[in-house]
Chains A and B, each alone.
Chain A
């Protein structure tokens, strides 16, 4: 897997975790069962996202920032040839390549970075 794609995956996972705490879906469980301090957790997640984003190359970071400002999802999984960011099929050639996660590529329709799921 491309190192920059790995960073993007980590950033996306952290953003999902943050979203779960801010949109209310996970908040009750995390506070009631696990005694999480939501504000502290969000601050910590934001710091980690910032730190990881700082490790992106300038070109990828710029693309990341453009997407991140507009949408909750910056990386979309590709499952069975479908981009789960926009549910449009990615090109067959792209989807079938064995080394498909060895480079960083984006969906030509929704702009999300693509992660091909095995």
Chain B
């Protein structure tokens, strides 16, 4: 499956209201269409994963991720905060692009790891941060993935 097929426009936030890492996680979790309790559990899991080590991989990109029982299928979201968020990233620079990935413990298609790997690879491409800064609509975000054949 292509990455672009996993992203829905409602889960692509090009102007996050969040001012902190925690707020960004909450904002992206709220795109998942879960009930309040499930959102809370998912947020806690993502926070606990962050506590093990930041998912900020450098160059302004973070990929918070976890498996949780509260989702029934692989879900992804993208958030952009051009002014930057303190994510305690590997390169200690602010994070401007956040890719959220959550998956259930059991997946028939077992996509979680490949998707995590593809997004990590995408984030390492030299032109990606600049391209992500320039897009102005969720559709352009999808087009960017399409252009990368992802």
Contacts and interface: CB of A to CB of B under 8 A. Distances in A.
Nearest to B44: A10
Contacts, number: 73
B111 interface: no
B58 to A, nearest CB: 10
B83 to A, nearest CB: 24
Looking at chain A, what size class is its interface with the partner chain?
A: 20 to 34
Interface stretch (B17-25, B48-56, B138-146): B48-56
Interface of A: 1, 6, 9-10, 12-14, 16-17, 20, 25-26, 29-30, 33-37, 40-41, 44-45, 48, 73, 75, 77, 79, 84, 115, 117-118
Looking at chain B, what size class is its interface with the partner chain?
A: 20 to 34
B117 A29 contact: yes
B32 interface: no
Interface of B: 35, 37, 41, 44-45, 48-49, 51-55, 57, 63, 66-70, 72, 90, 104-106, 113, 116-117, 120
B41 A9 contact: yes
A40 B51 CA distance: 11
